[in-house]
């Protein structure tokens, strides 16, 4: 067993590698450009929704008041008529210029958390001086799971595009491999 604190360097290095790789993937590679579609008549839709001053949050349209209401003829008619939507409302950006600073900080912290879980499992599964590929397998599997498995819940329950989940799974594979490589390389002897 390897003490978790002795793995601080591969934890941080793998988080940095994943952070840089994700930046490259999203800034320079084109395959995520169509993950979100454009709403027809965007200005009109924004104006219509803006009238209601909807607070930031997650919404479902239509949303029944109870399980019994879901069976009511009125609710069934609303669902048939549509649109049926899951809506995420974010706060307006006062400056008009989006800033991703908070998102990037949270993403980096998430990368650190995934690496900590990879470190924990690998440190309990293999001892000091373990072979590179043995460490690679444990750390990479946990990191891959941390970066990808929850994506499918979004497609199953909220109808996020399966193609987007598959593209993000590829990203997660890259992130898992980078994490695995960092741990295999820096594993204590």
- Which pLDDT tens digit goes with each residue over 77-86? 999 999 999 9
Q: For 124-181, how does the pLDDT look when each residue is reduced to its tens digit (9 = 90+)?
A: 999 999 999 999 999 999 999 999 999 999 999 999 999 999 999 999 999 999 999 9
Does position 96 have pLDDT exceeding 90, yes or no? no
Does position 98 have pLDDT exceeding 90, yes or no? no
Determine the pLDDT at residue 185. 98
Same domain, 134 and 156: yes
C-alpha pair distances (Å), 181 with each of 25, 122, 136, 139: 18, 13, 6, 9
Which residues make beta-bridge pairs with 58? 88
The pTM score is 0.90
Same domain, 24 and 105: yes
Same domain, 132 and 152: yes
For the chain, how big is the Rg over CA atoms in Å?
22
Tell me the residue range of the domain where 51 lies: 42-89
Does position 94 have pLDDT exceeding 90, yes or no? no
Average pLDDT over residues 44-69: 94
Same domain, 32 and 48: no
Same domain, 115 and 177: yes
Mean pLDDT of the chain: 95
Listing DSSP states for 84-125 in one string gives -EEEEE----TTSS---HHHHHHHHHHHHHHHHHHHHHHHHH
> Which carries the bigger pLDDT value, residue 97 or residue 151?
151
Same domain, 141 and 176: yes
Q: Which two tokens stand for residue 162?
A: 């399966």
C-alpha 155/C-alpha 162 separation (Å) is: 6
Determine the pLDDT at residue 115. 98
Residues in the chain: 189
56, 90 Cβ separation under 8 angstroms: yes
Tally of domains within the chain:
2
Same domain, 49 and 129: no
| pLDDT tier for residue 97 given thresholds of 50, 70 and 90 | confident
| pLDDT tier for residue 95 given thresholds of 50, 70 and 90 | confident
Q: Which two tokens stand for residue 75?
A: 């609710």
Same domain, 24 and 48: no
53: left (phi over 0), alpha (psi -120 to 50) or beta: left
Q: Looking only at Cα atoms, what is the longest distance across the chain?
A: 68
Same domain, 116 and 145: yes
Of 142, 144, 145, 110, the closest CA to residue 126 belongs to 142
Domain boundary among 89, 123, 152: 89
Which residues make beta-bridge pairs with 86? 60
C-alpha 18/C-alpha 11 separation (Å) is: 11
C-alpha 135/C-alpha 167 separation (Å) is: 26
How many Cβ atoms from other residues are within 10 Å of residue 129's Cβ?
A: 9
């Amino acid at each position: 067993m390897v003490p978790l604190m002795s793995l601080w360097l591969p934890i941080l290095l793998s988080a940095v590698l994943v952070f840089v790789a994700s930046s490259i993937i999203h800034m320079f590679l084109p395959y995520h450009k169509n993950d979100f579609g454009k709403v027809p008549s965007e200005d009109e839709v924004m104006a219509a929704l803006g009238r209601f001053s909807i607070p930031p949050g997650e919404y479902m349209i239509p949303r029944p008041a109870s399980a019994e209401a879901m069976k009511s003829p009125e609710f069934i008619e609303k669902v048939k008529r549509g649109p049926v939507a899951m809506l995420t409302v974010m706060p307006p950006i006062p400056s008009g210029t989006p800033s991703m600073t908070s998102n990037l900080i949270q993403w980096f912290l998430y990368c650190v958390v995934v690496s900590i879980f990879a470190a924990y499992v690998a440190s309990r599964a293999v001892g000091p001086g373990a072979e590179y590929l043995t460490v690679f397998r444990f750390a990479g599997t946990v990191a891959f799971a941390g970066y990808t498995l929850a994506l499918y819940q979004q497609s199953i329950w909220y109808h996020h595009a399966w193609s987007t989940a598959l593209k993000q799974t590829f990203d997660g594979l890259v992130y898992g491999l980078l994490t695995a490589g960092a741990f295999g390389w820096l594993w204590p002897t």
